[in-house]
Structure 1
Amino acid sequence: MKRSQMTGRFIRNFAKSKIALVGLLLLVMIIIAAVFAPWLAPQNPYDLMQLDIMDSRMPPGSVSESSGMTYILGTDEQGRDMYSAILYGLRISVIVGVSSTVLALLIGMTVGLIAGYFGGRLETVIMRIADIQLSFPSILTAMILLALFGQGTGKIIIALVASQWAYYARTTRSAALVEHKKEYIEAARLLGLSTPRILMRHLLPNCLPPLIIVAALQVAAAISLEATLSFLGLGLPVTEPSLGLLISNGFQYLYSGRYWISLFPGIALLLTIIAINLVADQLRDVLNPRLQRQ
């Protein structure tokens, strides 16, 4: 089947689910908002020169007396426009989620391919290390590493990669075990192709469908985990706030009726995770041959 035909078939199968299309549309809007946050936000919420403490904790729809700016989602305790803060926080959350997933995928995929293709003691050692890592909850692994490394975007990405790579290693190894004894791999060996070429050009493409599904789900898991860590004060510093930190900042004001400081970042986080999971769920149905209809 030609690549164009495969692409068309993939699009048709994906478009069968209206819910997935809604999730995809929402996800595209979220990505656009995250990428173009500096241009879409009416205020840079982390530029102290643009903040006015007199605008602190203003409810949604309030108008600033000093600047005349309308705060459609209200302000937080520092006078930051919540709409602008959510756009910037969403940007950091997406960067952390996608970056950690891509790095974990590359590491786990490489390790899993090697383990599944070569087998033997090497496979045993790699899989036992992965089993040990998977025996600990992801949040516990990340918390331990952040306690050692400290706060920061790069550090939390490293912590998330360390807590996620084993999922991809196991998935890749399982797929490689199924594929590496098939005729096309044997033919490639008989033709004298190098091991790296066999792994990357022949074995890896047939292991990608389950990896894509796992990666799509893990992006949502990474964003959720980062938000949890930041909410607990272990993730990002106040100078690099994500959605989790924005929720944490407003948590203490919930009982005083200033709900908007936590509510709107929470809704943004919830919609992001829902959109990713809707798309990932449909990808699972489309990429799983047993669920496809001819």
Structure 2
Amino acid sequence: MSVALQTPAAPVRDRVETPFRRFISEFAESKLALLGLAVFTVIALVAILAPWIAPQNPYDLAVLDIMDGRLEPGARNGADDMTYWLGTDDQGRDMLSAIMYGLRISLAVGAGSALLAAIVGASLGLLAAYVGGRTDSAIMRVVDLQLSFPAILVALMILAFLGKSVMNVVIAIVVVEWAYYARTVRGTALVERRREYIEAAQCLALPTHRILFRHLLPNCLPPLIVIATMQVARAIALEATLSFLGLGVPITEPSLGLLIANGYEYMLSGKYWISFYPGIALLVTIVSINLMGDHLRDVLNPRLKK
């Protein structure tokens, strides 16, 4: 009787759990965070693709007709065979198109100012923690002075001096936000600078800039990423406030805040859609970012997990 030889089954290779996979799995545990990510992704895609998917270019004066101003949502323009699904503003701009283009400016200002503020604040925070002494005291006294004033007041004073433009708005937001990054990074860097890898780098006589940005900064990234996410939402809200007050972006490049301001005077006359729909777009954008940032804080800082 022959005996069939069975080939042993190949061992199942365990899936190696890398830090990135662990981060993804922990982030996916929150349905609200995933919802915020999905909504923000859609908003970002709409903003990026606005020139191709928007029914109208609200910046092109040749296609605007003042006679189409303040039309109700769902109104139709027979001449252009176009339906204004969200109505029009006082200039005859399609509100849906204006919101799409307004999202481009709001997101660009929020992301750009948050990135620049992170670069400035993180650099000064690392320098203060690593050098210490008078350098640390001087930088932190400036941080304390900066944080003692309301952000909106400082931004208004800067824009009153510089004037209205997208770049000036970015500069104003960077000035009022860099201190948050500096204080956060300094607190983390004070702990990291006492660890063995920093002492080893110092014993090897590595340049200071290499120790700061190649060794110390990567270990300060988790809290930096969290605060950057929150500050993007804060920057978008601050830009909208400045534009609503008339000191933000110019009228030729309306953001969501300026669109809200343009329709504010028509609210009492029943033309609610001019301010209402840009306000909803602004609210949804900020809430989606905050949903991601709130859970991101828990994932990157296990001590905060409930």
What TM-score comes out, normalization by structure 2 length?
A: 0.93
- Corresponding residue to 1:79 among 74, 92, 106: 92
Which runs of 5 or more structure 1 residues have no equivalent in the other structure?
none
What is residue 226 of structure 1 aligned with on the other side?
A: 239
- Corresponding residue to 2:164 among 136, 141, 151: 151
- Write the distance in 2 (CA, Å) between the matches of 1:3 and 1:31: 33
- Corresponding residue to 1:10 among 23, 34, 39: 23
Aligned Cα root-mean-square deviation (Å): 1.4
Corresponding position: 1:105 with 2:118: yes
- Write the distance in 2 (CA, Å) between the matches of 1:161 and 1:235: 14
Corresponding position: 1:273 with 2:286: yes
What is residue 94 of structure 1 aligned with on the other side?
A: 107
Q: Structure 1 residue 291: deviation in Å? A: 4.1
What is residue 30 of structure 1 aligned with on the other side?
A: 43
What is residue 167 of structure 1 aligned with on the other side?
A: 180
What is residue 9 of structure 2 aligned with on the other side?
A: none
Q: Structure 1 residue 189: deviation in Å? A: 1.3
What is residue 264 of structure 2 aligned with on the other side?
A: 251
- Write the distance in 1 (CA, Å) between the matches of 2:201 and 2:242: 46
The higher radius of gyration belongs to: 2
Corresponding position: 1:69 with 2:82: yes
- Corresponding residue to 1:115 among 128, 133, 136: 128
Q: Structure 1 residue 182: deviation in Å? A: 1.1
Q: Structure 1 residue 16: deviation in Å? A: 0.1
- Write the distance in 1 (CA, Å) between the matches of 2:260 and 2:138: 41
Q: Structure 1 residue 66: deviation in Å? A: 2.1
Corresponding position: 1:263 with 2:271: no
Of Structure 1 and Structure 2, which has the larger fraction of its residues in helix?
Answer: 1
What is residue 48 of structure 1 aligned with on the other side?
A: 61
Tell me the alpha carbon deviations over residues 199-254 of structure 1, each in whole angstroms, 9 at most, x when there is no partner. Answer: 11111111111111111000000000000010010111111110000000001111
Give runs of aligned pairs for residues 195-206 of structure 1, distance below 5 A. Answer: 195-206=208-219
Q: Structure 1 residue 174: deviation in Å? A: 0.7
Give the paired residue count.
292
Which amino acid counterpart does residue 209 of structure 1 have in structure 2?
P
Percent identity, aligned pairs only, is: 61
**SS of the residue 2:209 aligns to:** helix
Distance 1:116 1:3, change over 3 A: farther
Which amino acid counterpart does residue 153 of structure 1 have in structure 2?
V
Give runs of aligned pairs for residues 168-207 of structure 1, distance below 5 A. Answer: 168-207=181-220
- Write the distance in 2 (CA, Å) between the matches of 1:107 and 1:284: 22
What TM-score comes out, normalization by structure 1 length?
A: 0.97
- Write the distance in 1 (CA, Å) between the matches of 2:17 and 2:73: 49
Which runs of 5 or more structure 2 residues have no equivalent in the other structure?
1-14
Q: Structure 1 residue 3: deviation in Å? A: 9.9
